[in-house]
Amino acid sequence: MSKAASENQFKAYPNPSKGQIQFNLPLQDLKVWNAQGQQVIHEDGNTSQNITIQQKGMFWIMGKAPDGQNVVSQVIVE
């Protein structure tokens, strides 16, 4: 799978969310950053398909897809 295909297939939902966020792909090396550039979650080595974000705001979810490509998605927590 090409990088473009991996990025087009990765989805974080629901968006906007109340804090529970799921992914349509399992992610490794999961990192979540807030709008201030602070890393709020880091799950190194685990495979994740959902997370809980306690804060409200805009977040960027980054991780490695099953095909090895880095993916990113933006979500809003209300």
Q: Where do the domains of the chain lie, and which CATH numbers do they carry?
A: 3-77 (2.60.40)
- Is the pLDDT higher at 21 or at 9? 21
Cβ neighbour number for residue 15 with a 10 Å cutoff: 12
Q: How far apart are CA 8 and CA 62, in angstroms?
A: 14
Average pLDDT score over the chain: 88
Q: How far apart are CA 78 and CA 66, in angstroms?
A: 29
**Contact in structure between 53 and 19 (CB atoms under 8 Å):** yes
7, containing H or E segment: helix 3-9
Mean predicted confidence (pLDDT) in 47-68: 92
- Is the pLDDT higher at 45 or at 75? 75
8 — pLDDT class (breaks 50, 70, 90): low
Report pTM. 0.83
Q: How far apart are CA 55 and CA 53, in angstroms?
A: 6
What is the predicted pLDDT for the residue at 7? 47
Token representation of residue 21: 């966020």
